[in-house]
Structure 1
Amino acid sequence: MNVRSRWLMISIGLGILLNPLNSSMVSVAIPRLQNVFHLDYTGVSWIIFSFYIASSIAQPIMGKASDLFGRRKIFLTGLVVAFIASLLAPLSPNFTWLIVFRIMQAIGTSMMVAVGMALVRIHITEKQATALSILSIFLSGAAAIGPFIGGVIIHWWGWSAIFFINIPFVLVSFLLSWRNIPKDKPSSSVSRGLSLRKWFDLIDASGILLFTVGLVALLASLLSAKSSGHISLGNVIALLIGLALLGAFIRHELRATSPFIPLRTFAKYPAMTWVNVEFMLVNVLYYSLFFGLPSYLQMVRHVSEFQTGILMLSLGLSSLVTSPIAGRWIDKSGPGPALLVSAILMTFGSVWLVTLNQTSPVISVCFALAAFGISNGLNNVGMQAALFQSSPQEIIGVASGLFNTSRYLGTILSSLLIGIVMGGKFNFEGFQVLGIILTVIALSLVFMSRRHQKSGQSHES
């Protein structure tokens, strides 16, 4: 890799790490935000929901936009949007405005993630696999150390610092990207003039609207009912509206020429569908721990943000150390054995959470964190390998997009699960119930992982 390629990698890497960094740092900030804005746990959880819903919608849209308007332009615009959001979020007069800027931040950082891999594939022709693996380190590394960084800076400078910390990354990435990302021309359709209606059809604006409003209505109804402790007429109406809109979304996607989520692909390739279902459940487990444990440590065990960040570091480090080892193992033995071990480790970690009591040494949570961290390292490689094994080569691009959608759905469901279990207040009893639910999900993954072993054996024969 020559010097120009290295600088291009650094330029892109500093931009794409902002999405996972900002999605992970907030896990330690939830108790502080709850106190600052006088919210219950259900209310403050929208800081998580908003980011992931916006990211899940923005990334495929911005991927299509980059094909039309140019990848360099979309990447630089994303940096500008992220800069403005990071500057304004700490100045939010109330929680509603903080959510608005959080959504804006998700859109800006998603613009960079959506085109970062494409920029590498187009402009780095030698040692491309190495370049892509380096980008993966930026993404996974930022997610892994996010809680640690968040814990340290919140402890010393307050919750607003988790937004201000983005500014130096954005400025350096913008200067380097302006210099190192080659200019590209917009597509011929844009040059000729793409009508607004055609653009809406291309991104499936109707499908996105149905999906977003339906999902938000469904989440709001479920969380509101749990938080208030009773089911009101408003909850029922919101629930019915959400279900109706999601039903209309499914019907629309089956008919759309350029669907936001190509549902017909799931029906056509059942093996790939099972991989996506399993990946969604894996993310429900991982992110339930990722977002739930910091709140448990701070609200139940009264551990400081700084100490919480230190403890959460064992999760990220275990994952980072395991990933390269997992790659060599899976290349040799296939994804089946690694995914089985991963499911067993998640079961152990979930059971360990159930055994904790209010007098257990705080350091003992590191056993569960290490188990989930190692399993995450195995899953990062194993689930991707299982996807490639189950997906026909001609649809691998669509399959990768659906794979990311499954990740976001799992993350959103994890936040919903925590909100429903905890209701208005995070407490020890709710945390134990959460551990039991996670144990059941982990055990189901143990049985599901056997499918990959059988699939691997059939491929060998």
Structure 2
Amino acid sequence: MTKAESHFSHKLTRSERKKIIFLMCSVLLFSVMNGTMFMIAVPAIADYFSLLPSQVSWVVTGYIILYAIGALMYGKLADIYPLKTLLTVGLSLFAVGSIFGFFAPNFLTVVIARMVQATGASSILALAFIVPSRYFPGERGKVLGIISSTMAFSSGIGPVVGGFVTGALNWQYLFLISALVLFTIPFFRVWMPEEKKQEGKVDIPGAVFIAIAVATLILFITLVQWWCLGVSIVFFGIFFWRIKTSDIPFIRPDLFKNVPYRTTIIAGFFAIVTMMGQMFVIPLMLNEVNGLTPLYIGFVLFPGAMIAAVVGRLVGSLTERKGSKLVLYIAFGLMIVGFGLISTFVGSPAWIVSIVIITSFVAFPFVQTSTADLISEVLPDHETGVGMGIYNLVNFMAGAFGSAILGKILDYNHDFRLNPFSIAEGSAVAYSNVFIGFVGLTVLNGLFFYAVFRKRGKKGLN
């Protein structure tokens, strides 16, 4: 019995497969854009409500916390409940939060609306990586490539749309854009396959423990509140005790004993630290070094994101033919070259930077497609949902961790260039050093991944 057949009894026609891919990519576009659009709009929201940076940051922080937790929760639920049901609930919450935010009379309402959005939008990301494994077992890599290319496109178009709408209309209209997902729900109800509820229950106490642990850890990373770290450690401890003693653990302990899965999660974490790190650093660099406004920063990022989106479809086919491990090695190579180029040309005119960043942007679909495909390959069917949930959670943690660490690093300017070929001067030197640091981290990450899988290859995959 294949993975797909273990969840529903009928096979999908070519037309049905196309409809599902189209639907998932459509809502994924709104989900990813929703994050990047509001990052651009944060200064405008701060001005509108006369807020301090620490106050307005909750527009992003609150969203990230619920989004990260939701990605894990929906992944776990997908092992039990039909995807159609989970997507209906998630899209409804996303739309309700968006409409609520559009009419928000004060800042507290805006934050609440963003958090409601996150509880729904996280279902889209979580299930988008499960759909290929469940419905397209023979084309998993290809479909993951399409998913990754959609994410790359959304990341690139988000800042442009956010800057344009905020400047031409008002930041509140960003909520209205996201509310459009409401119109996709009837199509999901009709086009998604019928599935039966699987046996199993959700360990509610375990879910609560891991949610508190993750939330406080993200708060520590973003706000540097040490009491949050203490609470996080305590609840992670309680959670691990719970999964070892419960008859129905939220996450089975033996999942972490799966060496290929564990290695892929670790390698993916450090890859995303650098990939999301560059998305955090480059706008700051373009603003401080090149003096660009948010809208023009979006235009600089746009070509790289578009090319990455186009390449993403090809990456899926390459993964199907050559395997996910080779594709991940190619990703490491692109990252090393791309980060090295950015480090060298920091301080150049914006059009040169726009060209230079293309290589590292193209690496994104290679990383996403290869790691997601490898996880689907090494996990048994009944653990794919929660395994993907952990994968998405770790990716969010990596993004938050990388941004927090890089923010601290950039606080300290110095004149010593780590890259001898860099043309950076003054404040640009710190940015050059960050990207050469990314090169070093990627080299170590690639060597770690290679060493583990070379050793496992002699003993068998698991």
Assess, with a 3 A threshold, how the Cα gap between structure 1 residues 282 and 41 changes in structure 2: closer, same or farther: farther
Unaligned residue ranges in structure 2 (runs of 5+)? 1-12, 413-424
| Aligned-partner Cα distance in 1 for 2:137–2:222 | 47
Q: How far did residue 91 of structure 1 move?
A: 3.8
CA distance in 2, matches of 1:71, 1:6: 17
Q: 2:350 aligns with which of 362, 366, 373?
A: 362
Q: CA deviation at 1:367?
A: 3.9
**Identity, % of aligned positions:** 18
Shift in CA distance, 373/263, structure 1 to aligned 2, threshold 3 Å: farther
How many angstroms apart in 2 are the aligned matches of 1:238 and 1:429? 36
Matching of residues 265-276 of structure 1 within 5 Å: 265-266=255-256, 268-276=257-265
Distance apart, 1:373 and its partner CA: 0.9
CA deviation string 1:83-129 (max 9, x = no partner): 12112224444444323211211111223444456667777899787
Partner of 1:210: 212
Q: Is the 8 A contact 1:326 1:377 kept in 2?
A: yes
How far does residue 317 in structure 1 lie from its aligned partner after superposition? 1.9
Equivalent residue for 1:320, pick from 309, 319, 322: 309
Letter in 1 for 2:349: P
Aligned: 1:377 with 2:365 = yes
- Select which of 109, 112, 117 maps to 1:105: 117
CA distance in 1, matches of 2:319, 2:243: 35
Contact 2:145 2:316 in 1 (8 A): no
**How far, CA to CA, are the matches of 2:40 and 2:50 in structure 1?**
17
Partners of 2:383 and 2:349 in 1: how far apart?
A: 50
- Pairwise mapping of residues 16-415 of structure 1 onto structure 2 (< 5 A)? 16-39=28-51, 43-65=55-77, 70-115=82-127, 134-135=146-147, 137-168=149-180, 170-181=181-192, 201-202=203-204, 204-219=206-221, 222=224, 235-260=225-250, 262=252, 264-266=254-256, 268-298=257-287, 301-330=290-319, 334-335=323-324, 338-355=327-344, 360-387=348-375, 396=384, 398-415=386-403
Change in CA separation of 1:208 and 1:429 when aligned onto 2, cut-off 3 Å: farther
Q: How far did residue 380 of structure 1 move?
A: 2.4
Please tell me the root mean square deviation across aligned C-alpha atoms, in Å. 4.0
Inter-partner Cα distance in structure 1 for 2:436 and 2:221: 23
Q: Retained in 2: the 8 A contact 1:27–1:291?
A: no
Greater fraction helix? 1
AA at the equivalent of 2:176: F
1:343–1:442 CA contact under 8 A, matched in 2: no
Please give the TM-score of this superposition, normalised by the length of structure 2: 0.76
Which amino acid in structure 2 is aligned with residue 274 of structure 1?
A: T
Question: How far 1:188 moved relative to its partner?
Answer: 8.0
> How far apart, CA to CA, are the structure 1 residues paired with 2:250 and 2:265?
16
Matched letter for residue 291 of structure 1: F
**Contact 1:347-1:442 at 8 Å conserved across structures:** yes
Residues 53 and 261 of structure 1: CA distance in aligned 2, closer, same or farther (over 3 Å): farther
1:215–1:337 distance in 2 versus 1, CA, 3 Å: same
TM-score with structure 1 length normalisation?
0.77
User: Match of 1:47, as an amino acid?
Assistant: V
Deviation at 1:283, TM superposition (A): 0.9
Aligned residue type for 2:312: S
- Counterparts in 2 of 1:389 and 1:430: CA distance versus 1, 3 Å: farther
Question: Against the structure 1 CA distance between its residues 127 and 275, is the aligned structure 2 distance closer, same or farther, given a 3 Å change threshold?
Answer: closer
Please list the CA deviations of residues 244-292 of structure 1 after superposition, one character each: whole Å capped at 9, or x if unmatched: 44444444444444444555532x2334322211111111111122133
Deviations 1:204-244 (A, max 9, x none): 2332343145314523651xxxxxxxxxxxx5545444444
Distance 1:438 1:211, change over 3 A: farther
Q: State how far apart, in whole Å, the 2-side matches of 1:203 and 1:10 are.
A: 37
Residue 165 of structure 1 aligns to a residue in which SS? Answer: helix
Q: Match of 1:227?
A: none
